Amino acid sequence: MFKSIDHVAVHCSDLEKSTAFYRDVMGFEPWVGHDARIQFFKVGTTLLELSMKQPAQVMSGLHFCLNTDDVSAAVETLRAQGVEVVLEPKPTTPREPSEESFLRAIVKGPDGELIEIRG
């Protein structure tokens, strides 16, 4: 039925601040923007959409996960740029028998969104 996930949307309170964070701190490639309310980034073959949240919208219970070859190095790079680390890199149990164990960490984005890093 479905082939893939096209994009993940993160609602933000300050589009300019969030755009700078994902471009300058996370190193994401800006793709297209629509007026002053939406900015897309290419992350591999997936898109991240930043959109201005409406006053009644609240972010909760959502995170997205990024793959990397070196979780610890990624966390140290982000920490050096002032990003809050919520969960230090730690080994995690494989999700399925054919998968090897991996490291994971969690950091916070500008609006408190949780960003998991695994590798």
Assigned domain for 67 exists: yes
pLDDT tens column, 48-85: 999 887 665 655 667 889 999 999 999 999 999 999 99
What is the DSSP pairing of strand 85-92 with strand 102-108?
antiparallel
Which domain does 74 fall in, by range?
7-118
- The rounded distance, in Å, linking the Cα atoms of 86 and 7 is 24
- Which tokens hold the place of 66? 């990024």
pLDDT value of residue 94: 76
Q: Is residue 1 part of a domain?
A: no
Kindly report the three-state secondary structure assignment for every residue of 33-58.
EECCCEEEEEECCEEEEEEECCCCCC
Number of domains in the chain: 1
What's 68's DSSP letter? Answer: -
Residue 30: inside a domain = yes
Task: Give the model's pLDDT for residue 39.
Answer: 93
Q: The domain that contains 92 carries what CATH number?
A: 3.10.180.10
Answer yes or no: is 42 within a domain.
yes
pTM for this prediction = 0.80
